[in-house]
């Protein structure tokens, strides 16, 4: 805003719009959790700021382990990890997948989380931040605020899992003890970071995929295994 002549009795005011974007919101769907989900079928569950929505038939999970990420010693190595994520995002363009990693996705400070841009993750269907115990020096989750508008317009759901919440479920066996299929999608990757894992859901339980339901009415989001 600029006042042309502040001394005038009725000063003329000029308003310049630097950026103007339409108001957007995540597409709502019939997202109601089943009354009872067997505990052995749940891969993760959280009660933190559950939006209303669902992601069906998830075949892949891109996982960055907190221990591995915060043990990367150089900025160059962390930058290479982000570039690898961008290449993986492109390779998975035709697949239904979600991303899970430590701290704040998109933070300019790599000590606070994975320093990616929207162009590195835009094909994912959900962006999930790990926080709490064992997540290094990372602060509380940002729920995608670094590029929240882009996520909303692309119908990508931001979530957070606080590992020290009493009612949280995070099945480490799924995330840490499944085969890493990264080389299948990035065969030319010279030396991918050990902390970057591509989990194919059916390699954990044959003939199954993941369903992610975010039930705003019950205030809970759950990812669970379902038969194909």
In terms of phi and psi (left: phi > 0; alpha: psi -120 to 50; beta: otherwise), the region of 115 is: beta
How much is the pLDDT for 74? Answer: 87
The span from the CA of 58 to the CA of 78, in Å, is 27
Pick from 211, 172, 196: nearest CA to 71: 196
The span from the CA of 6 to the CA of 52, in Å, is 49
Domain ranges of the chain: 22-227
DSSP 8-state symbol, 145 = G
Burial string for 197-225 (b: 16+ CB within 10 Å, else e) reads bbbbbeebbeebbbbbbbbeeeebbbbbb
Residue with tokens 């600029």: 2
Per-residue pLDDT of the chain (228 residues), as tens digits, is 556 566 666 667 777 766 555 544 455 557 788 889 999 999 999 987 767 899 999 999 999 999 888 888 888 888 889 999 999 999 999 999 999 999 888 888 888 888 889 999 999 999 999 988 766 555 566 665 667 777 878 889 989 998 888 899 999 999 999 999 999 999 887 665 678 999 999 999 999 999 999 998 888 999 999 999
**For residue 219, which phi and psi values (nearest 5 degrees)?**
65, 40
Name every residue whose Cβ is closer than 8 Å to that of residue 184 and which is 6 or more positions away in sequence. Answer: 198
The span from the CA of 221 to the CA of 32, in Å, is 10
DSSP 8-state symbol, 84 = H
- Asked if 209 and 226 touch (Cβ cutoff 8 Å), the reply is yes
The span from the CA of 156 to the CA of 202, in Å, is 23
How much is the pLDDT for 217? Answer: 87
The span from the CA of 199 to the CA of 202, in Å, is 9
Q: Strand pairing of 208-215 and 53-58?
A: antiparallel
The span from the CA of 182 to the CA of 198, in Å, is 5
**For residue 153, which phi and psi values (nearest 5 degrees)?**
-65, -25
Residue with tokens 């993760």: 44
């Amino acid at each position: 805003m600029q006042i042309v002549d502040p001394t005038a009795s009725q000063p003329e005011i000029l308003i310049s719009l630097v950026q103007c974007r339409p108001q957007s919101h995540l597409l709502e769907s019939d997202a109601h959790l089943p009354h009872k989900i067997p505990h052995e079928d749940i891969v993760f569950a959280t009660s933190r700021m559950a939006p209303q929505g669902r992601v069906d038939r998830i075949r892949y999970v891109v996982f960055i382990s907190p221990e591995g990420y915060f043990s990367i010693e150089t900025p160059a190595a962390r930058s290479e990890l982000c570039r690898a994520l961008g290449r993986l995002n492109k390779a998975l363009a035709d697949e239904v997948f979600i991303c899970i990693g430590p701290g704040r996705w998109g933070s300019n400070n790599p000590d606070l989380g994975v320093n990616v841009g929207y162009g590195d993750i835009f094909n994912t269907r959900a962006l999930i931040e790990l926080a709490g115990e064992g997540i290094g020096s990372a602060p509380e989750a940002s729920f995608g605020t670094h590029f929240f508008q882009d996520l909303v317009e692309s119908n990508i759901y931001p979530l957070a899992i606080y590992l020290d919440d009493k009612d949280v479920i995070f099945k480490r066996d799924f995330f840490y003890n499944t085969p890493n299929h990264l080389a299948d999608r990035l065969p030319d990757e010279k030396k991918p970071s050990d902390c970057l894992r591509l989990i194919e859901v059916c390699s954990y339980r044959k003939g199954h995929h993941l369903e992610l339901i975010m039930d705003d009415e019950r205030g809970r989001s759950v990812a669970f295994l379902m038969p194909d």
